A and B are shown apart, each in its own frame.
Chain A
Amino acid sequence: MSEQKHEEGVPFYPDHLALEAKVALGVGILVVIIGIIGLFIPVGVGAPADPMDTPAHIKPEWYFLSLYQLLRFIPKTIGATAPVIAILLIMVWPFLDHKPEKTTKIRQIRFWFSVIAVIIIIALTIWGEVS
């Protein structure tokens, strides 16, 4: 740290570790607060499972809700295959887009692409929640 100081920074120990410990402590306190709330308002369980009685509205957890909402408008086969292909595409993305970056312009395009994607997913989720 002393002789060859290439860039401004702090030593990992103890400065940066202290920061990380503070973050962990903060989130830890949040977790404990959630636990205390749980003592008074438990998560709870619904009616016991009954294979003979199909409920009127079936909803998955919120992280699958946008996909579920999408399935109402597109055929089931396409709706089920699309996420699998999307995940495979995301997985091989680094091999498709591998040129080193010279400017920050492409990063802005990626940023706005992400923002639009997130907005669409959130909108679908809210739509699925209220419908």
Chain B
Amino acid sequence: MKTVYRTILITLLSVILVAFSAAVVHANTAPVPAGVILEDGIAQPLTGTIEPEKDTCIQCHVDGSFTNIWTPFLRWVVFGAAGVAVLFGVARSASVWKTRSPWVPIPKRILGWVDERYQLSELMEPILSKPVPDWQRRWYYCLGGLTFFFFLVQGVTGIMLAFYYKPTPAEAYASIQFIENEVLLGSAVRMIHHWSANGMIVMACAHMLRVFIMGAYKPPRELNWVSGVILLVMTLAFGFTGYLLPWDQRAYWATTVGTEIAGSIPVIGQLAFIFLRAGWNISSLTLSRFFGLHVLVLPLVTVGTMLAHFLMIRKQGIMKPL
């Protein structure tokens, strides 16, 4: 009985909402009869020429002559929500009346539909129902997870920056300035990418120290440690390659010195030097090489190693300290 009352209430409220919004919109957009102009809401006799009627169309938003985006947006939200509420109320009353059984929430129906086909709950059952012991619910067990969180942030903001960045010496600097000054929220995204990189390095080091101090690298978790060290090196490589991309003085000379230091390693130094610089000097080839490493090679290797890292944790669990 309660459900029926609620249904009636929702339907009535929706109708009132729609009627109210329609009245407001109508009052704001009602056409003024030709030959009459309104001044403070009072009709005045027409003098002079009639202004051609302007259409607040999509084109006006594109060419910038009409900048008020919020009124149409709010109108769409109000009407959309009201329409969805009405449709939902009607469908719900109809369903309850037709089946003579309580209403099943929409998310539950969708889950049921998927589950019927792929038996996902069978797969998720052991993961979801597994109890988490209290000793695992300590702050120092979330450091690795936070590193992963920052990696996801880096992925999202990095893709956003890659949409506008141009990896050539002639255009890289200007494209960074374009991101900072012209692109909507560009400076915010770049700031997040910059600080989240630092956060990722700090969290990765903290996570490694935690594992080291607690001795969680001991058998049978050796490969977990090895993959973790690879991930840390990858993170530092991200930092090194990403630092050159703005192509300013600091970036250029830090990379000059950095590659020079790498070049002074015996045996493999020369090879590393040539590989990093793509030649003897830092040039446009170096920039596109660092860009390729930063956005293609390193993410792929990192995601693959991370997957292995996580699967090993999933299989072996977290080491229980003494």
Contacts and interface: CB of A to CB of B under 8 A. Distances in A.
Pairing of A with B: yes
B137 A16 contact: yes
Contacts of B217: 93-94, 97
Contacts of B185: 35, 39
Interface residues of B, number: 73
A43 interface: yes
B248 A45 contact: yes
Interface in B227-264: 229-230, 233, 236, 239-240, 243, 246-254, 256-258, 261-262, 264
B282 interface: yes
B275 interface: no
A124 B247 CA distance: 27
Contacts of B145: 20, 23
Interface centre among B142, B176, B252 (most CB of A within 10 A): B252
Nearest to B229: A91
B129 interface: yes
A5 B131 CA distance: 9
A109 B196 CA distance: 32
Interface in B115-136: 127-136
Given A61-B254, A76-B261, A10 B248 contact: no
B58 interface: no
Contacts of A49: 169, 173, 247-249, 251-252
Given A20-B142, A76-B264, 10 more contacts: A1-B131, A10-B132, A13-B128, A16-B132, A27-B149, A39-B185, A45-B173, A50-B249, A64-B239, A94-B219
Q: Which A-B residue pairs are the 4 nearest by beta carbons?
A: A38-B191, A49-B252, A35-B188, A94-B222
7 contacts: A10-B137, A12-B131, A15-B132, A42-B180, A46-B251, A87-B233, A110-B212
